[in-house]
Amino acid sequence: MIRTLSGVSVVALLAVSASSASAQDLMFPKGEGDFSWAALESFAASHDYTGEKLMVTGATTGDDAERYRTLYAYFTDATGAEVEYSGSESFEQDIVIASQAGGLPDVALFPQPGLAKDLASKGALVAVDDAMTDFMTTNYAAGDSWKQLATFPGSDGADHVFGLFFGTDVKSLVWYVPEQFEEAGYEIPETQEDLFALSEQIVADGGTPWCIGLGSGAATGWPATDWVEDMMLRTASLEDYDRWVSNDLKFNDPIVVNAIEQYGKYALTEGFVDGGPSAAASTDFRDSPDGMFDFPPKCYMHKQASFIPIFFPEGVEAGTDVEFFYFPPFASEESLGRPVLGSGGLASVTNDRDVTKGFMEFLGSPIAHEIMMAQGQFLSPHKDANLDIYTSDVQRALGEILTTATSFRFDGSDLMPGEIGTNAFWTGMVDYTTGKPAQQVADEVQTRWDAIQ
């Protein structure tokens, strides 16, 4: 049987660096600022959990954990329930051990859905009810995508929704220096066709359009897998993307080979990459954007996720010295909409109590997202959250990409078996970048996949 939020199950604390949020910890005074205070008041009027204690655990520690405790203080203030959060850098191992020992908390915050899927199949998670599922579908941009990403087979073998996504990262970005674009008269491309034409124009003008670096120690190759995943979302259906991740669509299918070659149009075209393909394959991804900030620039654009500014040269400020644009879709594939590749955290119930159901409802409220947005380093697809709450223009622009997306998918390599996603796929993309044909690379990855099934 699959448990839904209506019964009671055993709970114990997964205790690592735990501390509680209290009503005295309110960082943003109620009623002040552009928060959705009315939503909080409405929630408080219908939820009273005075005397209850809620255990939440996740992978977030340090200052990031304090941001969550700041949020949970508002739940305490609204309902009277105390929230104790435990953060652990070994969360993935700890939560598995807790599930085996019967010591799960009330709510677990999974940084990726893969582990949640495994635990759901073993009966360790509680399926959310139809109201929560409908809420996510209605109130999140590209809501069907989020629902699908949270849907796993339960212990009964049937599919159920096992949580609510809370907090997101965006990968479908191209970074550039506005001053350089302005001086050269370049415009932000709206389609892949425009982006390729811009790349050709930069070469014709004597410049180099792209900085690419695949180096990452033992993880070398992963930046190229992000390119391929984004290309899959822009050339194939969501159904095909999902089938590819599960290997129902074989890795050497023409659809996948085409996506690899679409990456190759940028990475392998002569003159397109600073240093050429061999340099791209060996340059560390943390160093690869540096060429944008030289004068004259060694390259004009860099495709990378929202985290990359932490590796920009000292003194370079995102939003002032460097900006980004959305990695665009193909005009020829209009039916695929505006897909976004990224990642996100999944909040899942592990102990079926009324207070846990209320806590999940709180996480779905716009003000819960706004309180996190106001503390920085948090992006949300919630359509009712006030974008003005974001602490910078960069965060706000990233938020707009999420709320205007027509679909969202997780990094495919993260969802594939480790032997493939964090091994064969990575190395295969390095091989392709340094000259091996796309079909041969795809065949070799599929051979590896066949060997583990």
pLDDT for 114-166, tens place per residue?
Answer: 889 999 999 999 999 999 999 999 999 998 999 999 999 999 999 999 999 99
Please determine, for residue 3, whether its predicted confidence score (pLDDT) is greater than 80.
Answer: no
Q: Within a 10 A sphere around the Cβ of 171, how many other Cβ atoms?
A: 23
3-class secondary structure, 425? helix
| C-alpha separations of 166 from 126, 177, 202, 297, 414 in Å | 17, 31, 40, 38, 18
| Two structure tokens written together for 273 | 């990459």
pLDDT for 84-95, tens place per residue?
Answer: 999 998 998 999
Give the amino acid at 1: M
E strands in 140-203: 151-153, 159-161, 164-170, 173-176
Give me the residues paired with residue 84 across strands: 20, 55
**What is the pLDDT confidence band of residue 113, given thresholds at 50, 70 and 90?**
confident
Q: What does the pLDDT average to over 16-36?
A: 75
Question: Where exactly are the structural domains of the chain?
Answer: 18-169+342-410, 173-326+416-452
At residue 414, the pLDDT reads: 84
3-class secondary structure, 18? strand
This prediction has a pTM of: 0.86
| C-alpha separations of 180 from 177, 298, 375 in Å | 6, 11, 32
3-class secondary structure, 251? coil
11-15, 165-169, 386-390 — which is least confidently predicted?
Answer: 11-15
At residue 11, the pLDDT reads: 33
Question: Helices 62-79 and 354-364: crossing angle, nearest 10°?
Answer: 110
Report yes or no: 330 and 398 within 8 Å, Cβ to Cβ: no
Average confidence score pLDDT of the chain? 93
pLDDT over 90 for what percent of the chain? Answer: 89
Closest CA to 176 of 209, 207, 224, 213: 209
Report yes or no: 417 and 446 within 8 Å, Cβ to Cβ: no
DSSP 332-367: GGGGG--EEEEEEEEEEESS--HHHHHHHHHHHSHH
296 cis-preceded (ω within 30 degrees of 0): yes
Q: What does the pLDDT average to over 282-310?
A: 96
Q: Name the one residue in this structure whose structure tokens are 């023409």.
A: 254
Q: Which CATH architecture has domain 18-169+342-410?
A: 3-Layer(aba) Sandwich (3.40)
Report yes or no: 87 and 60 within 8 Å, Cβ to Cβ: yes
3-class secondary structure, 245? helix
- Give the containing element (helix H, strand E) for 79: helix 62-79
At residue 13, the pLDDT reads: 35
At residue 200, the pLDDT reads: 98
Same fold: 18-169+342-410 with 173-326+416-452: yes
Of 200 and 115, the structure prediction assigns the larger pLDDT to 200
Q: Which CATH architecture has domain 173-326+416-452?
A: 3-Layer(aba) Sandwich (3.40)
As to burial, measured by CB atoms within 10 angstroms (0-12 exposed, 13-18 middle, 19+ buried), residue 112 is: middle
Q: Within a 10 A sphere around the Cβ of 215, how many other Cβ atoms?
A: 20
Q: What does the pLDDT average to over 351-370?
A: 97
Please report, to the nearest 10 degrees, the dihedral formed by the alpha carbons of residues 335, 341, 347, 348 taken in order. 70
At residue 288, the pLDDT reads: 97
- Pairing status of strand 164-170 against strand 339-349: antiparallel
Closest CA to 249 of 451, 442, 42, 54: 442
At residue 14, the pLDDT reads: 39
Query: What is the CA 408 to chain-centroid distance, rounded?
Result: 9
State the first-to-last Cα distance of the chain, in angstroms, to the nearest integer: 28
Q: What does the pLDDT average to over 248-264?
A: 98
- Pairing status of strand 82-87 against strand 53-58: parallel
**What is the pLDDT confidence band of residue 67, given thresholds at 50, 70 and 90?**
very high
